[in-house]
A and B are shown apart, each in its own frame.
Chain A
Amino acid sequence: MVRRPPITLDAARRGDRDALAELWRAHQAPLLRYLRARRTQSPDDVASQVWVDIARSIDRFEGDDDDFRRWLFTIAHRRSVDEIRRSVRRSGLAVRAADHAVGADVEHDRYDALDRAIALVSTLPDNLGEAVMLRVVNDLPIADVAAVMGTTEGNVRVLVHRGLAGLRRKMSVTDVASRTMKSVP
């Protein structure tokens, strides 16, 4: 559960640097993990662009912390879509080609628990992984998830259900693979 720091959005609207820094510290990790789960090529750069966009428009923002999170992930969603399109045009390769590499990383246990979890979520189809990250990990309401993804609430429920089912299957396969790797002398 993401802890909500006592941030005064009013100070951030006025351009207070400490308030902007506290906003960044509170939401940078979920934002970065969301972008990594979406298989963004350079999540740090995209996250920086998202924060710059936030800073440019925060003086016109109205709402509480929940509204701010919905706004933050909406900008992140659009930025990630733009970055994925640019990367596809540059490389000419489908982003989904990295799925096998992610699975291989999970099997070899080269990453810690956080990286493995992100890698596992990123193996899901794009909209399923995004729905899981927004609804399950960041605990956004279904209406906010639907607003961020630009779809209906019913579709969000279906996507979350299918995403979790996919994760469960992948977890079982990963456990079998890890046990198999451990059993090999």
Chain B
Amino acid sequence: MNEFDDFDDLLGPLRTPATPAELAAENDVVDLMAAAHHSSKGNTMFTSRRARVATLIAAGVIGFGGVAAAGPRVFDYQLLDEGPIVEVEVQDEVDNVVEEPAVEEPAVEEPVIEEPAVEEVVVQEAVVEEQNVVEEQNVVEEVEVPEEPAAVDTDEALDPDPTTDFDETLCIPGGNHGKTVSAVARGLALGDGRDRDENPDYPSVTDAAHSSCGKTVTADVETDVETDDDEADDEADDKADLATAVEEVPQQETEDLEETDLEETDSEETDSEAPQKQHGRPDKPGKPEQAGKGRSDK
């Protein structure tokens, strides 16, 4: 008896024992229960082991998948710094290889072509016809094109070193950087002719190379800035050769027009004019000899 006895009239039948109709399917249900218990007991160990293995495999797959999914962002860019850096460097190299000829070629070629053209125009006004100027421009292009990669490599070498002890007063007046370094290397920097071993104050070639001699003057001209010391000398030699070549061609034409008796005097005049024009450029002493060599080489 409980607090719900007031509902015995209604709920009493619900508490009665099972009727025969309710227990009619006893044998069938009990057979099902026994079979289910037997199958579940027989498969309990197998099922549990299989469940354990499946759980481990699933956990491993999910964990590996999660790490793999998060890997590219976590490891490559945060923990493993070497991977992306290598890729960036490769990309930079590719960019340099691709972009250098596309971007820098016009910047280098334009002044190289223009400068001889201006010089040749000056020569033309005096003597030469336009055809000679065109021919000389072609010659200049053929000569100057191989120097393009050298101009790119000299960017770092031209940076002045503020720690150098080189005395800027020893810079050759009006000369470029290469002249100064060459003079120091030859022992002519002090102008007294003494050997560097005899003078303890003689500057070293390294200091001269790191000095800013000639750089301020040539900074306005792109062609001089982008050349190395030796290459600047070669370039100057080439220009001198071109100047002498341009002068010789019209002089030969004028010689054909003049009388044959004046051949000896004309030849002496041409020999004397070439050095005069080159002496007109005080930064290139002694160049006729080198110009002759350069002409023979080319």
Query: Which of A's residues lie within 8 Å of B, judged by CB?
Result: 1-3, 15, 17, 20-21, 24-25, 28-29, 32-33, 44, 47-48, 51-59, 112-114, 116-118, 120-121, 133, 136-137, 139, 164, 167-168, 171
Q: Is the CB of B30 within 8 A of A20?
A: yes
Q: Is the interface of A mostly helix, strand, loop or mixed?
A: helix
Decide yes or no: A114 and B30 within 8 Å by CB, A29-B22, A48-B25, A58-B37 being known contacts: no
Q: Is the CB of A15 within 8 A of B38?
A: yes
Q: Bound complex: CA of A29 vs CA of B23, how far in Å?
A: 8
Using Cβ atoms and an 8 Å threshold, which residues of chain B touch A55?
32-34, 36-37, 40
Kindly supply a per-residue 1/0 record for chain B positions 5-34, scoring 1 wherever the CB is within 8 Å of any chain A CB and 0 otherwise. Answer: 001011111111111001101101110111
Q: Is the CB of B18 within 8 A of A28?
A: yes
Chain B, interface residues (CB within 8 Å), range: 20 to 34
Q: Is the CB of A24 within 8 A of B33?
A: yes
Q: Bound complex: CA of A88 vs CA of B11, how far in Å?
A: 29
Nearest Cβ distance between residue B117 and chain A, in whole angstroms?
A: 93
Q: Is the CB of B13 within 8 A of A117?
A: yes
Q: Is the CB of A137 within 8 A of B37?
A: no
Q: Is the CB of A137 within 8 A of B11?
A: yes
Q: Is the CB of A21 within 8 A of B11?
A: no
Q: Which residue of B lies closest to A31 (CB)?
A: B22
Using Cβ atoms and an 8 Å threshold, which residues of chain B touch A17?
30, 34
Q: Is the CB of B33 within 8 A of A2?
A: no
29 CB-based A-B contacts, threshold 8 Å: A2-B15, A3-B17, A15-B38, A17-B30, A20-B34, A21-B26, A24-B26, A24-B33, A25-B18, A29-B19, A32-B22, A48-B28, A51-B29, A51-B33, A53-B36, A55-B36, A56-B37, A56-B39, A56-B40, A59-B37, A59-B40, A59-B41, A113-B12, A114-B14, A116-B13, A117-B11, A136-B4, A136-B11, A167-B10
Nearest Cβ distance between residue B20 and chain A, in whole angstroms?
A: 11
Nearest Cβ distance between residue A43 and chain B, in whole angstroms?
A: 10
Taking the complex as formed, is B44 at the interface, i.e. its CB lies under 8 A from any CB of chain A?
yes
